[in-house]
Amino acid sequence: MDTFKCTPLEISGTSYEMQLLSPSQLLQHPQLQSICSVINDAYITHFQSLVPASGATRVKHPSELVSELHPSGACCVIFALQSTGRDVESYSESFPVAFAAIKPYQVEFEHFAIGERVTTDTETELKPERHEDGAQLDWELTAVAVHQDKSYAKKGLVTRCIVELERYVCSAVSSSFGGKSTKGVDNVGRTSEVVIWVRTIQEMNGTYWARKGYKASAVYHCSKGVLGAFDDFHLITLVKRLAI
């Protein structure tokens, strides 16, 4: 199957393959169902301390995952490779162990209507940008997950997916500008900058994204019972600006 990019990886003695896919390629991928299982398992495991795990899924149907992405979006999947035996260069099968997707950022007010905003920062999730030539500047990371087998933890697999997607959108925007200068502006004076957004639950993932250079833009307090939560929690929007 054709991919945007296919990169072999060797991490701690284990062979992996990283694939960068378009939404249409993801839809046709023979392991789409397994990819959804990785996402759902991570979702249930990660959030079971906050919301009831029974019946909770992040992706109800494989096509739902694909439909989340705009045609210009992309996803990155890392597969663990299993050797056939003696020939270490040949592999009998692979299975997904990490996933992340990126899509054009759109404000979805219903996400914030359930909580009370408790921050007022200079950044705002309410003003995504698009240049007059149609270049998409604001993007959102979504469905970030790693296989719940502990052997895949702390390997930096998800980080590799995120970095690959950040590079992808920076390259796409740079190409649409037709070139850039070393001072952060393109060849007709427009700012060469991509904005990456993340929306998550602060108590679960806020520290994780902060370590990756994402800064809080808005925080909303949600009371116990909202989304079935056992206790109060905070929805947080984070942002990272990347010069291209």
Residues 6+ apart with CB under 8 A from 28: 1
Residues 6+ apart with CB under 8 A from 96: 31, 34, 35, 38, 77, 78, 79, 147
27 C-beta neighbours (distance < 10 Å), count? 15
Where residue 64 falls (left for φ over 0; alpha for ψ -120 to 50; beta otherwise) is alpha
pLDDT at 244: 79
Chain centroid to Cα 142, Å, comes to: 4
pLDDT at 49: 76
Domain boundaries, the chain: 5-243
pLDDT at 227: 74
Sign of the four-CA dihedral 163, 164, 167, 169: negative
What is the CATH number that goes with domain 5-243? Answer: 3.40.630.30
The pLDDT profile of the chain, 244 residues, written as one tens digit per residue, is 456 789 999 998 889 999 999 999 999 999 999 999 999 999 888 877 777 655 567 898 989 999 988 888 999 999 999 765 555 555 557 999 999 999 999 875 445 455 666 664 544 444 544 444 446 789 999 999 999 999 999 999 999 999 999 999 998 888 876 655 444 555 555 556 899 999 999 988 999 999 999 999 888 888 888 877 888 988 899 999 998 7
Distance CA 186, CA 184 (A): 7
CA angle 171, 244, 173 (to 5 degrees): 40
Distance CA 58, CA 120 (A): 30
Distance CA 199, CA 219 (A): 10
